[in-house]
C-alpha cells in the first residue's frame, strides 16, 4: 500500500536535508509503482524548491520591514537627541536606548536581507 502523504513529506525532508539520492529508493520502498517513482521524485523536488523559494521571499520581506523600522528608530533617536540639545541650552539628553534599538533592528534586517537574497540567488537559478 502506497502512503502518498507520508512519502511526499519524507521526500521533501530528504531534499531539504540534501539527501536527494535517497528519494527514489524511498518511494519504491513505500510502494510507489516503479513507472511512477521517477515522475513523483521530480514532482516532489519541484515542490521543495517552490517551498524554499517562498520561505526565502518571506524572510526577505520581513528583513526589509526590520530595516525600515530600525531606520525610523535610529532617525527618531537622533532627532530627539538634537532637539534636546537645542532646547536645553548646551546640555542634552542622549536617547541611547532608542538609538541602540534602532541600530540593532537595522543590523538584524540587513543581515537577514543578505541571507535571504543569497538563498534566492544560489539555490534557485
User: Using one digit for the tens of pLDDT, what is the confidence trace for 35-94?
Assistant: 888 898 899 989 988 888 899 999 999 999 999 999 999 999 999 999 999 998 888 899
Handedness of CA 53, 57, 63, 64 (dihedral sign): positive
Beta strand ranges found along the chain (DSSP E)? none
Task: Using alpha carbons, select from 23, 8, 46, 66 the residue that is nearest to residue 124.
Answer: 46
pTM: 0.73
- Specify the pLDDT at position 125: 47
What is the number of other CB atoms lying within 10 angstroms of the CB of residue 35?
7
Task: Provide the pLDDT confidence category of residue 2 given band limits of 50, 70 and 90.
Answer: low
Q: What is the mean pLDDT of the chain?
A: 90
Q: Which residues contact 19 (CB under 8 A, 6 or more apart)?
A: none
Instruction: Retrieve residue 124's grid coordinates.
Output: 534557485
In residues, how long is the chain? 125
Q: What 3-state DSSP class applies to 8? A: helix
What is the number of other CB atoms lying within 10 angstroms of the CB of residue 48?
19
Who wins on pLDDT, 30 or 58? 58
What is the number of other CB atoms lying within 10 angstroms of the CB of residue 62?
14
pLDDT at 29 over 50: yes
- Specify the pLDDT at position 1: 55
The stretch 88-106 carries a mean pLDDT of: 93
- Specify the pLDDT at position 91: 87
Amino acid at each position: 500500500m502506497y502512503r502518498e502523504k507520508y512519502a511526499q513529506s519524507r521526500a521533501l525532508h530528504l531534499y531539504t536535508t540534501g539527501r536527494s539520492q535517497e528519494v527514489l529508493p524511498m518511494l519504491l520502498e513505500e510502494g510507489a509503482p516503479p513507472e511512477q517513482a521517477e515522475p513523483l521524485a521530480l514532482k516532489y523536488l519541484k515542490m521543495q524548491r517552490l517551498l524554499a523559494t517562498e520561505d526565502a521571499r518571506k524572510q526577505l520581506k520581513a528583513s526589509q520591514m526590520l530595516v525600515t523600522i530600525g531606520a525610523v528608530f535610529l532617525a527618531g533617536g537622533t532627532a530627539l537627541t538634537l532637539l534636546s540639545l537645542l532646547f536645553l541650552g548646551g546640555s542634552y539628553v542622549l536617547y541611547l536606548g532608542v538609538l541602540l534599538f534602532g541600530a540593532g533592528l537595522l543590523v538584524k534586517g540587513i543581515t537577514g536581507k543578505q541571507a535571504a537574497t543569497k538563498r534566492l540567488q544560489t539555490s534557485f537559478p
